[in-house]
């Protein structure tokens, strides 16, 4: 199972890096290029953007803080995954794999592109940030993880039911 997780992670990171190389070669200096349009309404465009921050441009210019925090987050996810993968549901494994893959994809950019991350997906349907495939992986993985924890994590419910069913004896001493 660990081999499948590692292969999936490498595959997703590879897709991310290939798309970013394509974006650098084809979108730099081009402005916004139409990608998906329905009728007269632009839905998604492709537009090159160099992002030196994190989520929605936060922590802009804090390269080393971002690198260290991403490394810590990825390391924690990997450690948790390796220590528990035999008893983990596939949905949880998938969500952690997505988070790790996306984090690594953007970490590679931060380290090898001088602290910037290449973004290229521009949502035109409504005013939204420009992002990339790695960001999609992290976001989808984090949402899956949250849904799993809130709705499907049976370990927490079992602990609470066991603790709640203990009888307390009161003596008259």
- 19 contacts 120 by C-beta, under 8 angstroms: yes
- 53 contacts 63 by C-beta, under 8 angstroms: no
Pairing of strands 41-51, 33-38: antiparallel
Q: Would you state the structure tokens that stand for residue 167, as one six-digit string?
A: 């009888």
Catalytic residue among 16, 52, 109, 135: 135
In Å, the largest CA–CA distance within the chain is: 85
- Among 66, 54, 50, which residue's Cα sits nearest to residue 135? 54
- 27 contacts 11 by C-beta, under 8 angstroms: no
- Among 94, 76, 84, which residue's Cα sits nearest to residue 155? 84
Active site residue 52: no
Catalytic residue among 16, 52, 119, 172: 119
Q: How far apart are CA 150 and CA 145, in angstroms?
A: 9
The secondary element (H helix, E strand) that includes residue 3 is helix 2-27
Q: Which residues are catalytic?
A: 119, 135
């Amino acid at each position: 199972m660990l081999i499948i997780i590692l292969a999936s992670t490498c595959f997703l990171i590879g897709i991310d890096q290939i798309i970013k190389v394509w974006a650098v070669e084809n979108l730099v200096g081009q402005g916004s290029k139409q990608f998906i349009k329905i009728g007269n309404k632009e839905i998604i465009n492709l537009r090159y953007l160099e992002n030196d921050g994190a989520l929605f441009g936060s922590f802009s210019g804090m390269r080393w803080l971002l690198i260290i925090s991403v490394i810590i987050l990825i390391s924690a996810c990997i450690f948790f995954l390796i220590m528990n993968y035999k008893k983990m549901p596939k949905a949880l494994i998938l969500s952690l794999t997505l988070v790790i893959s996306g984090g690594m994809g953007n970490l590679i950019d931060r380290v090898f592109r001088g602290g910037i991350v290449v973004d290229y997906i521009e949502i035109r349907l409504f005013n939204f940030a420009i992002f990339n495939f790695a960001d999609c992986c992290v976001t989808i993985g984090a949402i899956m993880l949250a849904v799993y924890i809130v709705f499907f994590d049976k370990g927490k419910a079992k602990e609470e039911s066991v603790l709640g069913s203990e009888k307390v004896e009161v003596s008259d001493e």
